[in-house]
Structure 1
Amino acid sequence: VFQELQEELQAALAGEAVSILAYGATGSGKTHTVTNFAERAAMRLDEEAEALEKEGLRLDVVVQIVEIYNEQFRDLLVPDVAHPPEPPRLKMPTPTSSATLQGASQRQISRGSGSMLRSLQ
Structure 2
Amino acid sequence: MTMGNDGMRPEDRAEAGLDDLFAMARAARPAPSEALMARVLADALAEQPKAVVAAPGPRQRGPGLWARLTWAFGGAGAVAGMGTAAVTGLFLGLVQPAGLAGLDEAMLGAPLETVELIPGIDVLLEGN
TM above 0.5, one fold?
Answer: no
- Computing the radius of gyration from Cα coordinates, the structure with the larger value is 2
Question: Normalized against structure 2, the TM-score is what?
Answer: 0.19
Question: Normalized against structure 1, the TM-score is what?
Answer: 0.20
Give 1 or 2: higher strand fraction: 1
Q: Between the two structures, name the one with larger relative contact order (CA 8 Å, sep ≥ 6).
A: 1
